[in-house]
Structure 1
Amino acid sequence: MNGTSRDLASKVGDNLPFLRRYARALTGSQVSGDNYAMAALEAILSDPHSYDDSLAPKTALFKVFHSIWSTSGAALADDEDGLRSKAQEHLAKLTTGTREALLLHTIEEFPYADIAHIMSVSSTEAKQLVDIAIDEMSRSLSGRVMIIEDETIIAVDLEGIVADMGHKITGVARTETAALELAEAEKPDMILSDIQLADNSSGIDAVNRILKTHGDLPVIFITAFPERLLTGEGPEPAFLISKPYSEDQVRSAVSQAMFFSSTETLRA
């Protein structure tokens, strides 16, 4: 491998975890999201010129991905049981490109100028897509949200953000045991969970036990180290936001997750 190839591999590798996070948020599936990410890598390997070195490394990688995503028809993952049919119905009502722009701006924190490069639109159009997405998705769904978070300030902040979106908060749990009891008292429509809890118990374990009892639910995990959960070495969450988070990131992730009636769980 020559120096140029090594440099390209390094740039792509450094940003691959974030591309995989983005891809699974679009599809609602680890497998489908990773397949799209892999297709982007294969495209770069077969034609290195498809990776635009004049752009920032993350922007260039996401631009390659989007050329594949848009060409494929931006389809969600298929499943034999039709678990995502409800999501498809909701998505059909949204303006084309709005979810992509919203995720790029809020979860991946791209400025409008970079979104414009990635999606091949103008900066003005990129902002318009984000604004439309926020409006359309805020009116699309509401439900009962359970929060698993041991830091009081963060828990209160999350409660306020989610409630302001029109969702009902079923409660806040600080430990795995409390989370199980809360879920038993009132089944949530979605779970927003930290990874490490107050008594050193695991939010991952708590979520998996809740899903085992109550069936598949959309889940958003919050962590200060998202790259540790995006290694590709095992089951990973479909929805993941980083600490410290912004209000827009939480709103976007909650809206995206609510579109999916199932989510792949993460097992420790």
Structure 2
Amino acid sequence: MTELVQTLVLSLLVGGIYALVASGLTLIFGVMRVINIAHGAFMILGAFITYTLWNQLGLDPLLGVLITTPVVFGLGWVTYRLLVRPIRHAPMSSTVLLTFGLALVVEGAMGEIWGNDSTSIRPSYVDRAFHVGNVFLPEAQVYGGVLAVLVLLALWLILTKTWLGRAIRAAAANPSSAELVGIKVTSVAALVFGLGLAAAGAGGAITGVLYPFVPGSHYLWIARLLAIVVLGGLGSLEGAVLSALVFGIAETVTAVYISPAWATAVPYAIVFFVLLIRPQGLLGTRLRDDAVTA
């Protein structure tokens, strides 16, 4: 029973981190109908920026989120204005190709700046753990999971309690009507792209403490994130959070009770079987073919 409780708690902590990064990806799709293949690359960029802050300045990597997040937000805003906005009305395949090319460029830039060797962020608490009775909880995962929840909560508050959030929800629901009531959808879209990548940057800062990474690590992450977003339902923030928790539980439970070799395969099998029954995902809705992009 103790092992089961420990496994489930660790699963939820990992799932919370997945939810943070996936929320940014599904937010971008929900407003702009853009599948951002570069999302994982910006996540790893956030990890490298955090590594530099920790290695050169001695800044705690989790506190470094306060710097990493706005930096990646700014990069996202500029990226949208310069690259995504000119083709926002093009077929979805065009933005997929564009963001895939962008991912390669970001990967190359990271390789030039930081090299291609495996990098790890190891603050003092990375080898410590909390003991609650017989339950063993690594401090880094606890801190990272709690921070991910706090950032997710901040994103939720922005989306539900601010004028920007109302504008984002209006632009996602009906861009044409949003324009009629004075919302400049293209400006909102730039902010959304920045917010989405900011979530990826924050997630990169956290995962950089938990896992080693190289510039090419973004391939593994974008595959995982796309699976989470599709399972939850494209454009559904609640669905992304739910499916991220499912993904985290499936990975951890499989690694502990079956075999680490199957920890990657089982979550994707769950995605496959869910989509056979519910093609739009757990909380998604079927998209209209005539949906207008921002």
- Relative contact order, CA 8 A, sep 6+: which one is greater? 2
**TM-score exceeds 0.5:** no
What TM-score do the two structures reach when normalised by structure 1?
0.31
What TM-score do the two structures reach when normalised by structure 2?
0.29
| Higher share of residues assigned strand | 1
